[in-house]
Each structure stands twice: as C-alpha cells, then as structure tokens.
Amino acid sequence: MKAWLSRAVANTVVRGEEPGNRVARWSRWFPTRPAVDEAEFQGDDDPYPGHWREFPAPWLPTDGTEGQHLAAAMDELPAPWREVVRQRDVAGRAPAEISTVLGITAGQERAMLNRARAFLWARLARYRTGNSTP
C-alpha cells in the first residue's frame, strides 16, 4: 500500500496535475464561462436589471425545414450514437434495455447519448445561424 501511494503521488507530480477530483482537472482545460453573454441582459441602470434586453430568437426556422435539419444532423452522427438516440429519444426505450440490446454498459449508453445530444444541438445551432445548409 505504501509503495502504491508513493507511485501515485510521484506520477501526479510528474504529470503536473493538481490534486482534486475529475471536475477540478476538467476545469483547468475547459474554463467555466457563462452560457450566455452578459451583454444580452439589462444592466443595473436599466428598468429591469438582469432581464433579457430582447427575447432570443427561436432555435429553428419555422419554415417547415426543421425535420430536414434534424435528419441531416442525425446522419452526421457516428452509427452507435445515432442508434442510442433513436432507441432513447425516438422509440422511448429505457436505458437498461438499450444497454442490453446494444451490448454496452449503462455508463457507455449515457455517455453516447450525452455526446450525441450535444452534437445535435451544435448542428442545429449552426443551421439556425445560417453557417451551414442541410
């Protein structure tokens, strides 16, 4: 036990990691920042401090192309991620059932779902801002 602890401390020092949990290490690489720019909100001298200056625009265009944008974004996903999203969000299956059917652990299923959803949100945001077409 003493030798293992000594190696763990030495490896931590060699890698330059600060002690702490996983969140502390991730925050070093990905600094925390607000999701919305402060300029979008009213200041202290405005009539409603902290409220939106103007309401945000809708995420998707309302011209009937929402399904095309989502389908194009789904096609860009890796096959396992796409299957997890289909099983969970389209078919409404339980996480344990998906894990069994796909032969993955519950943690893997959850990670794939989270990454796929983040990918889809990013693609839909690109479509909304006009940076890409379906």
Could you read off the pLDDT of 61-91 as tens digits, one per residue?
A: 566 677 788 888 899 888 889 999 999 998 9
- Out of 22-26, 60-64, 93-97, 118-122, least confident range: 22-26
- Cβ neighbors of 61 (< 8 A, separation 6 or more) are 69, 127, 128
How many other CB atoms are found less than 10 A from the CB of residue 120?
20
- Cβ atoms of 84 and 99 within 8 Å: the answer is no
pTM above 0.75, yes or no: no
20-60 tens-digit pLDDT: 554 444 445 445 555 566 887 888 998 888 888 887 665 55
119 and 76 in contact (C-beta within 8 Å)?
A: yes
